[in-house]
Amino acid sequence: MREKQIREIMEKFEIKPSFHRFKILEYLINNKTHPTADDIYTALFKEIPTLSKTTVYNTLKHFVSKGIVSELMIEENEVRYDFEVSPHIHLKCKKCGKIYDIYKECEILTHKKIDGHKIEEYHIYLKGICKECLKGR
């Protein structure tokens, strides 16, 4: 994604632009791997030696609060981040550990209320073996 488009996204979500925020958002947009904060820090530190883990964590927290990024907690001790915030399902492969976005139609993701309860967020996580691992690759 181009710099201008990333700046427009930041403006739309009322995020004050800074170099670190821009680079973290750019990384999330360009890396659909559902990275952890440590993954992002490790990837960007080579390019930005002034980056701190605290900055990455605080920036991600800010992005989540603004609704530009969502948190995934498929495992108890691991928070991952996703630039795609529209309701969808995640599958974590037990063999390779990759996390996949699944956009199949799922009726439950269309409900705003269930049994009289107002639904504000969806977090549907599946665990299994991905199609690449099933092929033996």
Q: Which CATH number do you get for residue 102?
A: 3.30.1490
- What is the pLDDT at residue 111? 80
CATH number of the domain enclosing 45 = 1.10.10.10
Mean pLDDT of 12-37: 95
For residue 6, give every residue at least 6 positions away whose Cβ sits within 8 Å of its Cβ, in sequence order, or none: 22, 25, 26, 29
Mean pLDDT of 68-80: 91
pLDDT tier at 136, thresholds 50, 70, 90:
confident
The answer to whether residues 114 and 57 belong to one domain is: no
The answer to whether the CB of 43 falls within 8 A of the CB of 24 is no
Q: Quote the percentage of the chain above a pLDDT of 70.
A: 99
The answer to whether residues 59 and 104 belong to one domain is: no
The answer to whether residues 18 and 58 belong to one domain is: yes
For residue 83, give every residue at least 6 positions away whose Cβ sits within 8 Å of its Cβ, in sequence order, or none: 25, 28, 29, 32, 68, 69
Which residues constitute the domain of residue 23?
Answer: 3-82
What distance in Å separates the CA atoms of residue 48 and residue 70, rounded to the nearest whole number? 24
The answer to whether residues 19 and 38 belong to one domain is: yes
Task: Give the angle 93-44-124 at the CA atoms, nearest 5°.
Answer: 30
The answer to whether residues 104 and 129 belong to one domain is: yes
The answer to whether residues 75 and 93 belong to one domain is: no
Mean pLDDT of 49-73: 95
The answer to whether residues 78 and 96 belong to one domain is: no
Query: Domain total for the chain?
Result: 2
Higher pLDDT, 85 or 65: 65
